[in-house]
């Protein structure tokens, strides 16, 4: 018997249906939630993600605008567009797809977005609300991971959670969300000696490294919950996560849970972006 799947596609369907209902209610009151997505440059992966976000809006009754610019767009011009969207009453959320071309400072761009419209939750203000536990917009990927963990039915209080990775977009906010849920949290990273010593003790492991096979079967405790944030390509060019999925699933046994890639965290990221846009529109 192998571990149960934490199905991000299925949970997304449930949550997105709720989003559609709430969006329709707001639209009926003359306040259709609106998301602006800005893409600078022609990175093919970014183009796919951005298209999926816009499609998800359309499918659930949210208004969206996609603004695409050449990679040569000046930082000044981008900041001017953000200022215009900040002032646009039909837009409740603004997302600037990362990464940006090198001549544009991402911090400057993120801080230019009105606090109330920061649906990525990447700004210093949003990071501060997360850190202090004040209400605010939460980064979509770790927020989606929390929803998947909740779905496993395990209560985090008193549990040991290990986060692998310390990025501002995933690892750090993930650790704070787990802490807020009363887990005991360990954050591991590229400078951690003997990673397995930590993960073998963990009831929950969130892997956000960006390297295949970071978590292998010998590194997990039976019955643990494994959340895989990785997005990599294997030798056959197929999408895969940071976890050696089949072997880890087997090692977890029937009481364990594991997210697949694709179909785990990825769809939840888009779902929580919709949730954040709705929250911004309801505020
Ligand atoms: N400002 C900003 N906000 C972001 O949220 C942001 C970003 N920049 N830059 C890039 C990353 C990446 N990201 C993903 C979203 C959905 C899937 C997703 O839906 N993945 C599907 C598979 C998609 C496929 O087949 O390629 C899945 O895992 O099942 C993946 C990755 C959002 N990001």
Q: Where are the alpha helices (DSSP H) in 87-204?
A: 106-112, 124-132, 140-151, 171-180, 195-199
Could you give the C-alpha distances from 154 to 76, 114, 159, 229, 245, in angstroms and in order?
48, 36, 9, 19, 21
Query: In percent, how much of the chain has pLDDT > 90?
Result: 98
Q: pLDDT of 54-98, one tens digit each? A: 999 999 999 999 999 999 999 999 999 999 999 999 999 999 999
Q: pLDDT of 99-154, one tens digit each? A: 999 999 999 999 999 999 999 999 999 999 999 999 999 999 999 999 999 988 98
Q: pLDDT of 190-215, one tens digit each? A: 999 999 999 999 999 999 999 999 99
Cβ atoms 174, 163 nearer than 8 A: yes
- The rounded Å distance from CA 150 to ligand 1 centre is 21
CATH of domain 139-266: 3.40.50.720
Nearest residue (CA) to ligand 1, atom 15: 266
Q: pLDDT of 210-232, one tens digit each? A: 999 999 999 999 999 999 999 99
30-114 and 139-266, same CATH topology: yes
Question: Which protein residues are within 6 Å of ligand 1, measured from CB?
Answer: 48-49, 52, 95-98, 120, 140, 231, 239, 261-263, 266-267, 269-270
Q: Specify the fold of 30-114.
A: Rossmann fold (3.40.50)
Rounded to whole angstroms, how far apart are CA atoms 71 and 96?
13
- Would you say residue 166 has pLDDT above 90? yes
**ipTM score here?**
0.94
Residues recognised as catalytic: 53, 97, 120
Domain boundaries, the chain: 30-114, 139-266
Cβ atoms 199, 248 nearer than 8 A: no
Q: What is the pLDDT of residue 154?
A: 87
- Would you say residue 269 has pLDDT above 90? yes
Rg value, the chain, Cα? 19
Query: In percent, how much of the chain has pLDDT > 70?
Result: 100
Q: What is the pLDDT of residue 1?
A: 84
Cα three-residue angle 189-206-211, rounded to 5 degrees: 55
- Would you say residue 156 has pLDDT above 90? yes
Query: Whole-number mean pLDDT of the chain?
Result: 97
């Amino acid at each position: 018997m192998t571990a149960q799947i934490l199905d991000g596609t299925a949970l997304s369907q449930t949550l997105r249906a709720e989003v559609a209902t709430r969006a329709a209610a707001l639209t009926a009151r003359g306040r259709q939630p609106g998301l602006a997505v800005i893409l600078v440059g022609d990175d093919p992966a970014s183009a796919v993600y951005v298209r999926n976000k816009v499609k998800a809006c359309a499918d659930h009754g949210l208004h969206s605008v996609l603004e695409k610019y050449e990679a040569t767009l000046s930082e000044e011009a981008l900041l001017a567009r953000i200022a215009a969207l900040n002032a646009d009453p039909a837009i409740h959320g603004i997302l600037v797809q990362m990464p940006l071309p090198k001549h544009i400072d991402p911090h400057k761009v993120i801080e230019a977005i009105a606090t109330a419209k920061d649906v990525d939750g990447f700004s210093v203000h949003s990071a501060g609300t997360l850190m202090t536990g004040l209400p605010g917009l939460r980064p979509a990927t770790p927020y989606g991971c929390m929803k998947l963990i909740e779905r496993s039915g395990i209560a985090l209080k008193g549990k040991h959670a290990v986060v692998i990775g310390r990025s501002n977009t995933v690892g750090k906010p993930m650790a704070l969300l787990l802490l807020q849920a009363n887990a005991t949290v360990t954050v591991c990273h590229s400078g951690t000696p003997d990673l397995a010593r930590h993960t073998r003790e963990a009831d929950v492991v969130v892997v956000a490294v960006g390297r295949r096979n970071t978590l292998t079967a010998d590194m997990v405790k039976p019955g643990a919950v494994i959340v895989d944030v990785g997005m990599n390509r294997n030798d056959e060019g197929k999408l895969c996560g940071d976890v050696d999925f089949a072997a880890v699933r087997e090692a977890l046994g029937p009481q364990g849970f594991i997210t697949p890639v694709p179909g785990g965290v990825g769809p939840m990221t888009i779902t929580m972006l919709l949730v954040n846009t709705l929250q911004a529109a309801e505020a």
